[in-house]
Amino acid sequence: MTSLCRALQSALALLLVATPASAFTLNPADHQPASSPRSRTRLDTDWRFHRFPSNPDNIAYDLRPDHANLTTPPQILKPWILPSANAFIADPSNHHTPPPSSSSSPPPLPTYASPSFNDTLWDPVTLPHDWAIAGPFYVGDGVPVGGGMGRLPSQGVGWYRRTVSIPSPKSPSAAVARSRYFLEFDGAMAYAVVWVDGTLVGGWPYGYNSFRVDVTAQVRAAVLRGKGEGRGEVVVAVRVDNPVQSSRWYPGGGLYRDVWLVTAGEVAVGQWGTVVTTREGGVARVETDVHEVEAGTGAVGRKVAEFEGRSVALGKGERKTVNGSVEIKNPRLWGPWPSQTPNLYVAVSRVYVDGKVVDEYSTEFGIRSLVFDSDRGLFVNGERVRIQGVNQHHDLGALGAAFNYRAAERQLQLLRELGCNAIRMSHNPPALSSSRSPTAWASSSSTRSSTPGSARRTPTTSTSSSPDWSEPDLRAFIRRDRNHPPSSPGASATRSASSTPTPRARSSPAACAPSPSPRTPDPPVTASMNYAKPTMPFPAEFDLARASATRPPTPTSPASRPRPLPAFHTAFPHKMIFSSETAAALSSRGTYLFPLTNETARPVSDTLPSGGGDPTLAYVSAYELYTAPFGSSADKVFASQDAAAPYVAGEFVWSGWDYLGEPTPYYSARSSYFGIVDLAGFKKDRAYLYQARWREDDARFAMVHVLPHWSWGAAREGEVTPVHAFASADEAELWVNGASQGRLRKEEGGVTSYRFRWDEVVYRPGEIRVVAYKGGKEWASETVKTAGAAAGLRLTADRETFKGDGRDLSFVTVEVVDGDGNVVPTAGNAVAFELEGPGQIAATDNGDPTDMTSFVSKERKVFNGLGLVIVRGNSGAKGKLKLKATGAGLKAAQITLRVQ
Ligand SMILES: *[C@@H]1O[C@H](CO)[C@@H](O)[C@H](O)[C@H]1NC(C)=O
Ligand SMILES: *[C@@H]1O[C@H](CO)[C@@H](O)[C@H](O)[C@H]1NC(C)=O
Ligand SMILES: *[C@@H]1O[C@H](CO)[C@@H](O)[C@H](O)[C@H]1NC(C)=O
Ligand SMILES: *[C@@H]1O[C@H](CO)[C@@H](O)[C@H](O)[C@H]1NC(C)=O
């Protein structure tokens, strides 16, 4: 530990601990002193759950259009939920008061919230839990949940119940009387309402925000009932409600992130109550504002002996902000991979009453300077960093919305292999950042943060909650993540908001301020503007200009126009510009359709005639030249970015991974075609197109990737079968069965600026080989052979040893191979999986957006040769797991995994 404390002008102690070079090893829990009453207990086990496809108890947060024909209108809980927002509403005169208990309230206790309800027959579940992911999929038209939302049963009402034991303090009654208790929900989808021992304690409509409810009164009462032994039990009941058509993509359903019991002192730091800012270029000074020091019973903060400073007097229920600053000499800077290191610090705020520590709160932060240069792009600690980013949805493929650290880490690791250095979590506050994203530079984003569930596809299903929740949703989202050095909160703009600044857009930058001090440009506030023009007033409201890729198609120029970067640069000469949603290219991994377009980008839709898509099979060709009608190919985006260099700071590609829902262009499918990586985590050819650009000069990643596969049947012999290569090189030569097809050079401004293409090649079985050259020297090579008939299976685990903690995962790839061990790239064999030992098959997948086999099925067809099995070790398990794969006519495969 480096000694870093200097003057501190408040009743707070600041402990700053420099971390080792890695951002992952820091564990704030290590710094908790025994004297602090603050504790955080994860409540992931022992829940009982039941889903009701339709409203079982005639309760609703608010009246909705789908209630229109009910004979008995539902009981509305909104007045009792609104006060949960108060901590996130700046103006006290706008705070909500619950209805007086004497009137019609509190509302009748729903059966399932009653502590005495017998839930024995409900399903036992472990959190995080997504009730919809197991399916079954809704197939076809006229179903309750269509392709847009992933065809999974996310709609309905879910009830969760569990008994929570109160940890037993040493001197029970006194300690309990001096402690305060909260239930923290990292995310509950959606319209969560929480009862404890039959009392409605609050809730939060928007399913992606984290929130907490105060359960101090219920816990104290329970401990009193526990006859002074300091032990008590409370029954927690949570109701979540997903209206039909509540989302534009797959929302998941239920308690899909962690739930915590938090114990804090009677005087305590508020929820996400610290803000650390660095000044003077971010390298010399740290200031800590502690918001909302809350008092329960008129306690008074006293002067702390060690530190020169003020004491803070707090009345009952009062909140105050105190601040302090220290100077850190020679700080280790947080900086993006690969040239810099993401060093983190932790600030420990201690609250003292009568000289005793009554609360201690750790805040991780990094010290870095960010310069948003309108002419030269983004500078981090003085180094220009091109944003090589992707957009990521919240789901984890076959695991659904249920957050899993390892699954999220795997997504980021695969993206980093390509050279990706930035993530835009679209379009909601992620689970990710609270788990410390290993990616260098992340940008959070919320689409219309006020809209519960997520953005609405059908305006008629909107609720009236938006005006009530726009401010608290935005403040809560920002406060949770504002100290994360890579975070930049953003608001996404709706179509209508792009043309006129709504009051909400105007208030967004203000709500992003570390209240109550005036807004500083760190972090900057941005909005993604998919239909904005530089002449509109809306873009002027924000610190950074974000030109989105998407714009409406026109009949004459569907996908080939450059983005309006120069126009934005001219209109906002003092704002840094970057592209927040680029490309929207489409492909199905390993599927190639003929004939191939001779253009650099070609739109595909379910109605447009185009060689790029097969509406019957619902696949899009993976030559990686096909796009949504509103989008553009990777090649085309690279050209527009390069034309705007050096002032454009970079791009966020739509999208990094495929995700559930939004299966443009084929709504008969269940997951997207946009990903650089497919839903199962297999790289599409496009991944190598990005790697070739994002790791262009990195000799350790010298590469060439050739497509398509070369295992066409007799029917293609003699047919034109174009061969393309993606390489971080400037020249490449192709040989087909030993005959050179010519050595090509990348040419600026043509169809071969970012790829090599031999479009006249005629297919004959055998092999194709590409050798790439850089500066005239051989740089990389790749050979693709014609595979024989499918003969066997092969299993490969990403990690053969993993933790038996009930959460950690091993991702096992299954390949169908020929007699020589070559993957058969057209194989679609059905494979059955069996696991022996202390674990489970959590899910299977293959990356095929049209596959309606349940994700929990232990039998699945491979898609173009590949399949995936996700294995989870049981909690507390140790030992060997044997995974076996069998398929008709194929040699079986087996792999041994170890959990420890
Ligand atoms: C209510 O009933 C009307 C008339 O039958 C119908 O048109 C409408 O779709 C119904 N609304 C809902 C939400 O079911
Ligand atoms: C709860 O229900 C189960 C299943 O019906 C029953 O076996 C059990 O006795 C019930 N418990 C109580 C306390 O009534
Ligand atoms: C810290 O608090 C003092 C007293 O309220 C105030 O005068 C000062 O401006 C604050 N400093 C910062 C950086 O907010
Ligand atoms: C593509 O092919 C069409 C039709 O054969 C032709 O008119 C067009 O000029 C070609 N475009 C390019 C870029 O070669």
The 10s digit of each residue's pLDDT in 316-335 is: 777 777 777 766 777 788 88
Tokens of 259: 């739930």
CA 599 to centroid of ligand 4, rounded, Å = 7
Has residue 106 got a pLDDT over 90?
no
The whole-number pLDDT of residue 644 equals 86
Beta strands (DSSP E) in 43-168 are 47-52, 59-60, 75-76, 123-125, 156-166
Higher pLDDT, 792 or 463: 792
CA 110 to centroid of ligand 1, rounded, Å = 27
Has residue 228 got a pLDDT over 60?
no
Residue 171: burial class (beta carbons within 10 Å; 0-12, 13-18, 19+): exposed
Has residue 440 got a pLDDT over 60?
no
Rounded-to-integer distance, Cα 781 and Cα 725, Å: 10
Has residue 170 got a pLDDT over 70?
no
The model's pTM: 0.89
**Structural domains present in the chain:** 6-38+268-365 (2.60.40.10), 93-265 (2.60.120.260), 370-695 (3.20.20.80), 704-785 (2.60.40.10), 792-899 (2.60.40.10)
For the Cβ of 557 lying below 6 angstroms from any atom of ligand 2, the answer is no
Rounded-to-integer distance, Cα 379 and Cα 370, Å: 6
Residue 108: pLDDT band with limits 50, 70, 90: confident
* Three-state SS annotation for 164-208: EEECCCCCHHHHHHCEEEEEEECCCECCEEEEECCEEEEEECCCC
Has residue 283 got a pLDDT over 80?
no
Closest CA to 397 of 718, 37, 867, 765: 867
Has residue 491 got a pLDDT over 50?
no
**Start-to-end C-alpha separation, the chain:** 31
Rounded-to-integer distance, Cα 794 and Cα 798, Å: 13
Rounded average pLDDT over 447-464:
30
Residue 172: pLDDT band with limits 50, 70, 90: low
Specify which of 15-19, 576-580, 584-588 reaches the highest per-range mean pLDDT: 584-588
Rounded average pLDDT over 573-578:
87
Has residue 148 got a pLDDT over 70?
yes
Which residue type is seen at 239? R
Nearest CA to ligand 2 atom 3: 120
The whole-number pLDDT of residue 705 equals 98
CA 613 to centroid of ligand 4, rounded, Å = 19
* 3-state class (DSSP) for residue 200: strand
Rounded-to-integer distance, Cα 748 and Cα 666, Å: 34
Residue 124: pLDDT band with limits 50, 70, 90: very high
Rounded average pLDDT over 160-184:
78
Nearest CA to ligand 4 atom 2: 598
Higher pLDDT, 899 or 278: 899
Rounded-to-integer distance, Cα 794 and Cα 892, Å: 8
Q: Which of 45-59, 467-481, 659-673, 756-770 has the lowest mean pLDDT?
A: 467-481
For the Cβ of 54 lying below 6 angstroms from any atom of ligand 1, the answer is no
CB distance 317 to 296 below 8 Å: yes
Q: Which residues pair with 239 in a beta bridge?
A: 159, 193
Tokens of 34: 């025994």
Pick the atom of ligand 2 nearest to 121's CA.
4
CA 117 to centroid of ligand 2, rounded, Å = 10
The whole-number pLDDT of residue 623 equals 98
CB-based contacts of 118: which residues, under 8 Å, 6+ apart? Answer: none
What is the percent of the chain where pLDDT is above 70? 78
CB distance 206 to 187 below 8 Å: no
What is the percent of the chain where pLDDT is above 90? 56
Higher pLDDT, 648 or 529: 648
At residue 764, φ and ψ (nearest 5 deg) are -135, 135
For the Cβ of 120 lying below 6 angstroms from any atom of ligand 2, the answer is yes
> pLDDT digit string (tens) for 706-732?
999 999 999 999 999 999 999 999 999
Across the chain, what does the average pLDDT equal?
A: 81
For helices 503-511 and 466-481, angle between their N-to-C axes, nearest 10 degrees: 30
User: Is the bond leading into 564 cis (omega within 30 degrees of zero)?
Assistant: no
> Ligand nearest 69 Cα, by number?
1
Rounded average pLDDT over 580-608:
92
The whole-number pLDDT of residue 175 equals 66
CB distance 484 to 430 below 8 Å: no
What DSSP state is assigned to residue 403? -
* Three-state SS annotation for 732-770: EEEEECCEEEEEEECCCCCCCCCCEEECCCECCCCEEEE
Has residue 759 got a pLDDT over 90?
yes
Q: Which of 5-14, 23-32, 453-462, 789-798 has the lowest mean pLDDT?
A: 5-14
Rounded average pLDDT over 510-524:
46
The whole-number pLDDT of residue 818 equals 98
